[in-house]
């Protein structure tokens, strides 16, 4: 395919990727002498999708969203449907996460860049609906990721203002990053903006942990994890204090199962900006309050709240029984203590010889043991509260793909095992020794998980 000229002006240089709908190639525009990315859709019947995606992208103006130059549906011409896009020089976040662990500041930079793109798209009435590491490009080739280098790509599943699919298509996106309400099958429960916020929360948690905690062998198991599982805290596998409370609370707010309580894209953007810039006031981490979003979650909340309502009703009966006044003559255990001011005892007159009693031996009672001072009262943070309700050792499943992430997880969660010393050994250069080193790290993680 390299060297082929498409649509009379785009000369293909290399194939960047292939998917179910076609392929993405890098090409040179012979008319304007610039690099472009061509999304070539092989099936002529899918030309309307290229046109729809092009119109959605054309409505968005943001450096964090890939630009569109032209669209050709292929109708009436002997050529495939074609979408001409900006060529983003760089690599995807998926490739970076598979190769290395990124820092907390880089995670925040990813969040800021994606949130800026989602806000710009939402302002134009467009929602991405497939936010995942594969669709997040990092423009720079430097070692550090910055927010200005983040670009959202692949709006093939995006939905725009006035799109007839808005009220009919529910299951859209990739299962490992899919909002739980999308699996309900009820379009009235789905808010596309809230679903995009949840998907970003999964991306940020995956970047912090080194693995997606919702990924499972089958699609059904993955969707069930989104529906029921409480995600691990964002601090797992990181050094103490490395993930601050503001970032952990932001990620937890994005991952709220209820779209009505979930942190909005705008709220998360303000929270991360306040974390990086002290001059920006920290907003309350609250979800959307609009009547539209709230009504969409009523049925979902009612379905989940039945066990909790039963528990609350039982507790109310117990409290009412305890608070009911006792009948006359009944023995109660309530003791009333009257507080009185402390009065100084009057000074006794000096004893005289006649009134002085004879000396007697008095045995003083043993002094009571010294009581330790009360522990100071502290305010528990969200991350500390979540961590206290979980086992001391939490291993995300599946383990990180890259060796660096598995070594960091081993050193953080299994440091008390003798085999954990393998995480502190420098990575060998020899291929045979490297293979043996990977095996020892995985074996120690397996032993740690069984304990």
Catalytic positions, please?
A: 130
Task: Count CB-CB contacts under 10 A for residue 289.
Answer: 10
> What contacts 87, CB < 8 A, 6 or more positions away?
26, 34, 35, 36, 37
Q: Give the bridge partners for 137, in sequence order.
A: 92, 151
107 in Cβ contact with 126 (< 8 Å): no
271 in Cβ contact with 282 (< 8 Å): yes
């Amino acid at each position: 395919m390299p060297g082929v000229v498409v649509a009379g002006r785009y000369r293909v240089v290399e194939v960047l990727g292939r998917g179910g709908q076609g392929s993405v190639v890098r090409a040179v525009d012979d008319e304007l002498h610039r690099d472009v990315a061509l999304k070539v859709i092989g099936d002529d019947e899918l030309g309307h999708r290229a046109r729809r995606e092009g119109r959605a992208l054309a409505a968005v103006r943001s450096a964090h969203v890939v630009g569109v130059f032209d669209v050709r549906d292929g109708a009436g011409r002997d050529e495939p449907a074609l979408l001409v896009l900006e060529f983003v020089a760089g690599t995807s976040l998926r490739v970076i996460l598979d190769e290395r662990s990124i820092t907390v500041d880089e995670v925040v930079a990813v969040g800021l860049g994606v949130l800026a793109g989602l806000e710009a798209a939402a302002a134009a009435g467009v929602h991405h609906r497939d936010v995942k590491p594969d669709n997040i490009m990092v423009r720079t080739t430097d070692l550090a990721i910055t927010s200005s280098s983040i670009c959202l790509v692949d709006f093939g599943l995006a939905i725009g203002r006035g799109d007839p699919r808005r009220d009919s298509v529910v299951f859209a996106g990739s299962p490992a990053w899919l909002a739980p309400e999308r699996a309900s099958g009820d379009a009235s429960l789905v808010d596309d903006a809230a679903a995009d916020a949840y998907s970003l929360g999964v991306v940020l948690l995956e970047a912090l942990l080194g693995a997606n905690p919702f990924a499972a062998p089958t699609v059904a198991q993955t969707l069930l994890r989104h529906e029921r599982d409480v995600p691990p805290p964002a601090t797992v596998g990181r050094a103490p204090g490395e993930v601050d409370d503001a970032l952990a609370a932001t990620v937890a707010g994005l991952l709220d199962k209820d779209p009505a309580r979930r942190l909005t894209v705008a709220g998360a953007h303000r929270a991360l900006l306040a974390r990086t810039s002290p001059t920006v006031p920290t907003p309350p981490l609250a979800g959307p309050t609009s009547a539209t979003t709230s009504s969409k979650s009523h049925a979902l909340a009612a379905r989940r709240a039945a066990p909790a309502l039963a528990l609350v009703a039982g507790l109310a009966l117990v409290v009412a029984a305890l608070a009911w006044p006792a009948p006359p003559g009944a023995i109660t255990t309530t003791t009333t203590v009257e507080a009185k001011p402390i009065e100084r005892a009057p000074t006794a007159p000096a004893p005289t010889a006649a009134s002085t009693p004879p000396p007697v031996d008095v045995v003083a009672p043993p002094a009571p043991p010294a009581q330790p001072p009360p522990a100071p009262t502290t305010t528990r943070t969200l991350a500390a509260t979540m961590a206290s309700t979980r086992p001391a050792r939490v291993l995300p499943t599946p383990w990180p793909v890259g060796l660096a992430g598995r070594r960091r997880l081993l050193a953080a969660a299994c440091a008390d095992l003798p085999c954990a010393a393998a995480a502190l050994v420098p990575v060998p250069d020899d291929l045979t020794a490297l293979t043996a080193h990977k095996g020892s790290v995985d074996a120690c993680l397996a032993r740690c998980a069984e304990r």
